[in-house]
């Protein structure tokens, strides 16, 4: 049952098995007018009905979260609201007036500030310029640099971030870049603030800081539209939740009236709600309250051969020499805060950076990994954290993107036939549930989460022996996430080794056979079995553990 035809000013019809929530929603709504609303908004792309007669409303002083699986239409709705896309049908109202923004700049001028899903900052400009690009404070007609610098520092200080704002943005890791984008979105007065997956690469403390600010903004009457795939975050911050499914609005709920498993069931459709997923939803929501989690993480490391061994491998200024082994058929998790050396370790393993000390052994034999090409030849794949910079090639098709690593490994002179490429791409699109109308479409047209899946498909298609996954589930919806992790575990049972990096400790624990903990660019511990519980790992990360 969908409710997309309901008028935005009317309360929702009670859901199947009407909950007491229907009444409290009604009370809650009659009081105020929405600041931003759509009625009957539709948007069709070739082969995809991205939005179908969507009614949506956002009230002042609330945090309203859009939830839905990858490709459900969340970003498209935001793009329509903010003038990036023109809807095919329907109307948008801001403060009761019908509006049709021709560009995001027009929306901004009307007080609608947006942080888009794919952070579009300028990597080669300074942090300060990025925060104020296009609206630099001027004095006597000239750009006032000292003022920009001071104000950029202030904007970041509100997020508890202090960095050199004169350095270029690409000098910083992706999570910091995301904080800069958030600082930019927060740096002017707005009536409406829209954040499309702002937390996908932030760690817990950064998320907490952002939420503190959002609560503050909310109290001052700003309306906040938020998109996330983290259920725990949804419940931590939301007053209201709109669920999108296949381009339709499934329903609108008060967060307190909707349990996590009801929410997931509405996202995926009741008929697809497996016991496993229900369990997962509970686990996500409960993550905060649990003291000691009895994870059903994989069996403790048994005596298998290491596929790869690092002995004293390091790089001056980047990573202190570490010893590390990834065993055949196992997952080694890397836990640590941002900047602890996780990505640096991955880059050394992949030959993206060269080690200046130590030895690397693959299947017992010393090897040189001077370039990614060397690594690929040894059966190593690296799914990088920044899908835009090191990942997808926007102009190429989904098929070409998936085939890229395999083709590179075979050598470009041994071209994979078109027929074979199509078969392989189709197989991975199907296996990972990539929502695409056609494998020949440019990959840029996929939703964020589906691009991420295509990146994973690229490396799985090479049939690697070791796969390095740096934040592989960034932006992937809950249902798909559990599906993908199960699939990876099954591949491990067939001999694949994985180095798994994620800022979500619970996720690292769920899949890893062993977990190496990093702090301040060095490995400080390795835990397995009973010792790998969240509490213990947090203690180690904080420096108070064993
Ligand atoms: N410019 C475009 N051209 C063609 N198809 C598009 C375009 N933009 C989006 N789509 C398609 O519209 C659908 C909805 O995409 P959208 O980006 O809104 O999803 P989403 O809910 O934000 O997903 P995610 O959680 O993965 O970010 C997808 O099938 C996507 O491939
Ligand atoms: Mg999106």
User: Which tens digit of pLDDT belongs to each residue from 450-475?
Assistant: 988 898 899 999 889 999 998 888 88
Q: What is the pLDDT of residue 535?
A: 85
What average pLDDT score do residues 16-26 get?
Answer: 42
357-362 vs 306-315, strand pairing mode: antiparallel
More confident residue, 183 or 173: 183
CB 341 within 8 A of CB 508: no
Tell the residue nearest (CA) to atom 18 of ligand 1. 73
Ligand 1 atom with the smallest distance to the CA of 247 is 14
Q: Tell me which of 273 and 121 has the higher pLDDT.
A: 121
Identify which has the larger pLDDT, 317 or 284: 317
Best of 43, 71, 394 to mutate for ligand 1, by most ligand atoms within 8 A of CB?
71
Task: Encode pLDDT of 96-151 as tens digits.
Answer: 999 999 999 899 889 999 988 876 778 888 898 888 876 666 666 666 788 888 88
Greatest Cα pair distance, the chain, in angstroms, is: 72
CA distances to 305, 384, 489, 495, 498 from 308, rounded to whole Å, are 9, 19, 18, 13, 10
Of 97, 89, 101, nearest to 50 by C-alpha is: 89
The three-state secondary structure class of 220 is coil
Instruction: Give the ligand whose atoms come closest to the C-alpha of residue 85.
Output: 1
When pLDDT is cut at 50, 70 and 90, the band that residue 286 belongs to is: low
Q: What pLDDT score does 448 carry?
A: 86
Mutation to probe ligand 1, out of 44, 45, 244, 443 (largest number of atoms < 8 A from CB): 45
CB 291 within 8 A of CB 268: no
Is 287's pLDDT higher than 70?
Answer: no
Mean pLDDT for 283-308 is 56
Which of 13-17, 44-48, 118-122 is predicted with the least confidence, judged by mean pLDDT? 13-17
Does this model's pTM top 0.75? My answer is yes
Of 111-125, 292-306, 352-366, the one with minimum mean pLDDT is: 292-306
C-alpha dihedral (117, 120, 126, 130), degrees to nearest 10: -80
CA dihedral 254, 255, 259, 263 (to 10 degrees): 80
pLDDT of amino acid 295: 43
Lining residues, ligand 1, CB within 6 Å: 45, 48, 50, 68, 70-76, 117, 435, 445-450, 475, 477
Q: Which of 141-145, 319-323, 380-384 has the lowest mean pLDDT?
A: 141-145
Q: Which domains does the chain have, with CATH numbers?
A: 1-111+190-289 (3.40.50.300), 120-188 (no CATH), 306-542 (3.40.50.300)
Of 166 and 286, the structure prediction assigns the larger pLDDT to 166
d(CA 108, CA 421): 44
């Amino acid at each position: 049952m969908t409710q997309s035809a309901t008028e935005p000013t009317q309360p929702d019809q009670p859901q199947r098995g009407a909950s007491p929530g229907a009444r409290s929603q009604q009370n809650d709504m009659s009081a105020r007018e929405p600041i931003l609303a759509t009625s009957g908004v539709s948007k069709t792309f070739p082969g995809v009905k991205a939005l179908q007669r969507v009614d949506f409303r956002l009230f002042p002083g609330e945090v309203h979260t859009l939830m839905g699986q990858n490709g459900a239409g969340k970003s498209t709705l935001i793009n329509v609201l903010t003038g990036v896309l023109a809807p095919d049908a329907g109307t948008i109202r801001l403060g009761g007036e019908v509006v049709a923004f021709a560009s995001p700049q027009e929306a901004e001028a009307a007080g609608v500030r947006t942080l888009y899903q794919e952070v579009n900052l300028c990597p080669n400009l300074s942090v300060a310029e990025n925060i104020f690009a296009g609206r630099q404070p001027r004095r006597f007609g000239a750009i006032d640099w000292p003022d920009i610098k001071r104000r950029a520092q202030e904007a970041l200080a509100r997020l508890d971030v202090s960095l050199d704002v004169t350095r270029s943005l690409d000098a910083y890791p992706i999570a910091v870049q995301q904080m800069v984008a958030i600082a930019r979105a927060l740096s002017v007065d707005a009536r409406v603030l829209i954040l499309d997956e702002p937390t996908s690469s932030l760690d817990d403390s950064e998320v907490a800081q952002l939420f503190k600010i959002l609560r503050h903004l909310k109290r001052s009457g700003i309306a906040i539209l938020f998109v996330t795939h983290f259920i725990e975050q949804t419940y931590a911050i939301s007053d209201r939740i709109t669920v999108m499914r296949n381009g339709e609005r499934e329903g609108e709920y008060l967060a307190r009236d909707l349990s996590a498993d009801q929410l997931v069931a509405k996202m995926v459709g009741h008929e697809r709600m497996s016991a496993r997923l229900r369990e997962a939803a509970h686990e996500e929501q409960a993550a905060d309250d649990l003291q000691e989690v009895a994870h059903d993480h994989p069996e403790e490391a048994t005596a298998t051969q290491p596929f790869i061994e690092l002995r004293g491998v390091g790089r001056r200024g980047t990573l202190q020499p570490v010893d590390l082994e990834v065993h055949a058929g196992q997952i080694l998790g890397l836990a640590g805060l941002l900047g602890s050396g996780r990505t640096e370790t991955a880059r050394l393993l992949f030959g993206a950076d060269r080690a200046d000390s130590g030895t690397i052994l693959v299947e017992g034999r010393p090897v040189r990994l001077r370039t990614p090409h060397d690594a690929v030849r040894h059966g190593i794949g690296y799914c990088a954290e920044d899908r835009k910079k090191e990942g997808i090639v926007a102009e190429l098709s989904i098929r070409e993107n998936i085939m890229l690593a395999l083709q590179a490994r075979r050598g470009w002179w041994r071209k994979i036939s078109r027929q074979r490429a199509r078969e392989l791409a189709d197989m991975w699109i199907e296996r990972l549930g990539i929502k695409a109308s056609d494998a020949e479409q440019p990959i840029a047209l996929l939703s964020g989460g589906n691009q991420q899946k295509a990146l994973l498909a690229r490396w799985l298609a090479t049939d690697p022996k070791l796969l390095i996954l740096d934040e592989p589930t960034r932006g992937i919806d809950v249902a798909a996430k559990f599906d993908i992790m199960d699939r990876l575990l099954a591949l491990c049972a067939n001999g694949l080794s994985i180095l798994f990096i994620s800022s979500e400790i619970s996720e690292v624990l769920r899949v890893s056979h062993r977990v190496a903990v990093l702090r301040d660019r060095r490995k400080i511990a390795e835990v397995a079995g009973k010792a790998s519980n969240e509490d213990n790992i947090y203690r180690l990360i904080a420096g108070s553990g064993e």
